[in-house]
A = this chain, B = another copy of it.
């Protein structure tokens, strides 16, 4: 595989269709397209309202990866940056892009004066768990997620 050149930069409103397409690709791969109900318009409105920020990976003139995150808060530690989603296009993997993107996310957390960064990983995802082990991340196994879904708001 040829080594590709890539750049990581902060994503803007113009990148949201590409970010949405990357999430779509993953939902399709997981055969869960019906669960993916947020539209590009939702992303646009909520990005402008400050709900989240992104980092995007550019290779040539294409977006081949993205990290979507937002500030959150730990009552025990203080400021926290939460990595909600983190995707590298399948064809662009094995090039160190994921690591560079995760590093950029951690740097963003430090820049914002955060005391910690948090994310979630599926318990069966060995490659991801090994990846996070290299960062000496703390993996907590005793918390379950609770969720209540509302009827689609306008």
Residues on A facing B (Cβ under 8 Å): 23, 27, 32, 35-38, 42, 46, 51-52, 68, 70-79, 82, 84-85, 106, 109-110, 113-124, 132, 135-150, 152-154
| CB pair B77 A82 closer than 8 Å | no
Other 5 A-B pairs with CB < 8 A, given A120-B145, A140-B144? A46-B78, A68-B73, A117-B148, A138-B146, A141-B144
- List the number of copies, as a whole number: 2
A50 to chain B, nearest CB (A): 8
| CB pair B46 A72 closer than 8 Å | no
| CB pair A116 B150 closer than 8 Å | yes
Cα(A71)–Cα(B69), bound, Å = 12
Q: With A72-B82, A84-B72, A154-B113 given, is the CB distance from A77 to B149 under 8 Å?
A: yes
A150 interface neighbour in B110, B119, B152, Cβ under 8 Å? B110
Q: List 8 A-B contacts (CB under 8 A).
A: A38-B77, A42-B78, A46-B73, A51-B72, A119-B145, A120-B145, A137-B146, A140-B144
